Amino acid sequence: MNASRWLVLATFFLLAAGCASQTSRDTGIDKLSPRKAEQALNTGIQRYEDGELKAAQKSLQDALSLGLTFDSDKVAAHKHLAFIYCSSNQERQCRDEFRRAFEIDPGFKLERAEIGHPLWGPVYTGVRAELLSRGKIKP
């Protein structure tokens, strides 16, 4: 086979590969796009930061229901749900969310500024102390 035929074949295969790649983008198949659960988590956190607590709560619960892949994402969802419940004077639900976060990650810790928050800081500290005294988590 001469050089010009190799060039034609190589061009054909490159064009075919480009078309296949474009087809997968057109059909919405993109292996790098976040899953629905992670999208719901991101939406929930953004809504929380925007002060839309009811909408944030729904998105965070949806994220957990859809099956977040990473434990760190699950902990983040439970932490933000705890913040929402504490902000809404629902202390029992707030405690439950902090407990769920500890169940997933026994080393779960709030940031220094978060621990100092007057609404959820004391609740978190109480749940952590309770779990420490029961031997459920380590210091």
pLDDT in tens, 47-56: 999 999 999 9
State the Cα–Cα distance between residues 31 and 34, nearest whole angstrom.
8
- The domain segmentation of the chain, as residue ranges, is 36-133
Question: Which sign, positive or negative, has the C-alpha torsion 20, 21, 22, 28?
Answer: positive
State the Cα–Cα distance between residues 134 and 139, nearest whole angstrom.
12
Q: Which CATH number is correct for 36-133, 1.10.20.10, 1.25.40.10, 3.30.499.10, 1.20.930.40?
A: 1.25.40.10
Q: What's the pTM value of the predicted model, to 2 decimals?
A: 0.76
With 90 as the cut, is the pLDDT of residue 6 above it?
no
Residue 123: which residues within 8 A CB-CB, separation 6 or more?
A: 82, 86, 91, 94, 95, 98
pLDDT in tens, 43-82: 999 999 999 999 999 999 999 999 999 999 999 999 999 9
With 80 as the cut, is the pLDDT of residue 17 above it?
no
pLDDT in tens, 22-40: 433 343 434 444 699 999 9
